[in-house]
Amino acid sequence: MASLEEAFAVARQARDNAYAPYSGFRVGAAVKPLGRDELYAGCNVENASYGATICAERSAVVHMVSMRGKSRIEYVVVVTDADPPSVPCAVCLQVLAEFCAPETMIHLADTQRIRKSIALKELLPQPFVLV
């Protein structure tokens, strides 16, 4: 079964592949689908038209969906070199809310190790939902 340590390694490797020529802020992410022994990686890919930039967390979700269709996410790992480690942006949190339960853990890491784990509902207590 894919472990949290493996997910950290996958996210760290994805961070190394980030395309961040404008900000220099490289981010890697990994998502693990619920009940599956799989990991999907993503990295940030910047664009001169900054609104066209995609964050690592959304990149990982898009990777998962493109490979296996809509799936629930068991956990997310985000790797940056920030101190303290950065949380996902609001847009990424909203996208994660589409695929995660409120209790889904978001593991925040620097390039050495996971530093903090926090539930999605603590980062985005009131996501936008269609009822």
What was the pLDDT predicted at 73? 98
User: pTM surpassing 0.85?
Assistant: yes
pLDDT at 131 exceeding the cut of 80: no
Reading phi first (left if > 0) and then psi (alpha if -120 to 50, else beta), residue 118 is in beta
Catalytic residue among 5, 6, 46, 57: 57
CATH architecture of 4-123: 3-Layer(aba) Sandwich (3.40)
- Compute the average pLDDT of residues 104-118: 98
Q: pLDDT tens-digit profile of 4-58?
A: 999 999 999 999 999 999 999 999 999 999 999 999 999 999 999 999 999 999 9
**What residues does each domain of the chain span?**
4-123
How many other β-carbons are positioned within 10 Å of the β-carbon of residue 119?
Answer: 15
Residue 5 CA, chain-centre distance (Å), reads: 15
> Which residues, 6 or more positions from 90, have their beta carbon under 8 angstroms from its beta carbon?
124
pLDDT at 1 exceeding the cut of 90: no
pLDDT at 102 exceeding the cut of 80: yes
Average pLDDT, the chain: 97
In this structure, are residues 96 and 106 in contact, taking their beta carbons and an 8 Å threshold?
yes
Phi, psi for 96 (deg, rounded to 5) = -60, -40
Residue 57 is a catalytic residue? yes
> At 2, is the pLDDT very low, low, confident or very high (cuts 50, 70, 90)?
confident
